Amino acid sequence: MKLSTAIFQILLGPLALAGAVPKGESKITYGGYKAFRVATHNNPAAIKEKISKLSAVTYNIDNREHLDVAVPPQEIAAFEALKLEASVLHEDLGADIAKEGTVAAYEGVSAQAVPSLTWFNAYHAYADHVTFFSDLQAAFSNQSELVTAGTSFEGRTIFGIHLWGSGGKGSKPAVYYHGTVHAREWISTKVVEYIAYNLLTQYGTNTTVKAILDKYDFYILPVVNPDGFVYTQTTNRLWRKNRQTRSGQSCVGTDINRNWPYKWELTNGASTNACDETYKGLAAGDSPENKGLVAFTLGLKNSKGIKLFIDWHSYGQYILFPYGYDCSLKPANYALQSSLAAGTAARIKLSYGTSFTYGPSCSTLYATTGDSVDYLDSVGLAQYAWTIELRPTGSGTGGFVLPAAQILPTAIEQWEGQKYLLAAA
């Protein structure tokens, strides 16, 4: 890397995560950045103070036990001299992003042919996801249609697919999935695509799958934050929020998963600072994406109701149910939710031994306000409203940058978990 580029990136790294990168900015490569997981032992402020003179980028949200930080190359020695209790997440974050981001070109299929499973061997550009879904829908047009849930800040359609079984279109309660609300959580896109793919391709051959799709209408929205997702591909792989600008604010982006109009007004689980990763917006539900998603959600609630909602995220390997906004609250059907989550975790583990922790969102992970799960539970009246945080745990390598070789195993274990859950729920 040329020195001038390096300096440019060093200057931009932290600002980028703070949301200040203007449009048309050149791509941040994170070349030579070394990523560490630093133990905080419930005192993240002390660690943050120690690293405050460095331009290290902190990129995890829950800092109670650890900070995940990416340290630019010229500061690695200074970071190591601090002798913090740390393990290495990426020897070279930029190299891992480059490897992961070798997005394969999607060739498409001839009319009405089923897309190939090789789709799940690589990550893809946003436009290819749109094409993949339209190809999948065209191949199974007797039991699917494309749906839309409004428009993003930059004008992209929030698209999805609706699947149904023998009862006909719209006849059953909804199973409703959101992927990629946080832009950098790429694996979530692939997982919901894999579930849609298997429901359709196995409906005609597998009685278990047929029974599931005959019992529920599925509404699968793979990229509910399209602007953020595109931005992670053009500019900053670690971007989280949407790309909404607001007058008088220099920082870009609202966290769509802190903007839902339920308990939004509470102050313990989101930020009022537009530069923060969990910025909640200026009013409940005021992001364009949230407006579209709320309307879509209410449509499902008011037709056949919502059996199950899952907001798919990464990373951490958690199954989380309500509530996010209050750590002392448990849902009315707590025992049932716990046992379903335990069963789902056990089924997930059977495939590759991957362990998932489960429990109420706030007490298990951290407090969140204006989040989708609380809204779907309390307003959407979903019987089950969950968040699933996919691989990895974070103690190994990966983080948001999960190697492409793990797409298929991650998707397979979740598909197994969903087949269990949908039969048992």
Q: Does 165 bind ligand NAG (CB under 6 A)?
A: yes
Q: Are 348 and 354 in contact (CB under 8 A)?
A: yes
d(CA 64, CA 97): 26
Q: Which residue is nearest to ligand NAG (CB)?
A: 204
Q: Look at residue 210 and give its three-state secondary structure.
A: helix
Indicate which residue of 100, 277, 289, 389 is catalytic: 389
Q: Does 398 bind ligand NAG (CB under 6 A)?
A: no
Residue 209: CB minimum distance to ligand NAG, A: 6
Which of 389, 384, 387 lies closest to 410, judged by CA? Answer: 389
Q: Does 380 bind ligand NAG (CB under 6 A)?
A: no
Q: Are 257 and 314 in contact (CB under 8 A)?
A: no
Q: Fill in the per-residue mask, 177 to 196: x = in contact with ligand NAG (CB under 6 A), - = not in contact.
A: --------------------
Choice between 212 and 319, CB closer to Zn ion: 319
> Beta strand 384-390 with 357-360: parallel, antiparallel or unpaired?
unpaired
- Residue 190 binds which entry of Zn ion, ligand NAG, none, CB below 5-8 Å type-dependent: none
Burial track 93-125 (b if 16+ CB lie within 10 A, e otherwise): bbebbeebbeeeebeebeeeeebeeebbebbbb
Q: Does 170 bind ligand NAG (CB under 6 A)?
A: no
- Residue 231 binds which entry of ligand NAG, Zn ion, none, CB below 5-8 Å type-dependent: none
- Residue 110 binds which entry of Zn ion, ligand NAG, none, CB below 5-8 Å type-dependent: none
Contact residue for Zn ion among 172, 178, 182, 237 (CB under 5 A): 182
Choice between 170 and 204, CB closer to ligand NAG: 204
Instruction: Render 371-410 in DSSP notation, one character per residue.
Output: -HHHHHHHTS--SEEEEEEES--SSSS-TT---GGGHHHH
Q: Does 208 bind ligand NAG (CB under 6 A)?
A: yes
Contact residue for ligand NAG among 29, 143, 235, 387 (CB under 6 A): 143
Neighbours of 46 (CB within 10 A): 10
Q: If you compute the radius of gyration of the chain from its CA atoms, what whole number of angstroms results?
A: 21
Q: Does 166 bind ligand NAG (CB under 6 A)?
A: yes
d(CA 54, CA 79): 8
389 is catalytic: yes
Residue 204: CB minimum distance to ligand NAG, A: 3
Residues in contact with ligand NAG by CB under 6 A are: 142-143, 165-166, 203-204, 206, 208, 419
Show which residues are catalytic.
Answer: 389
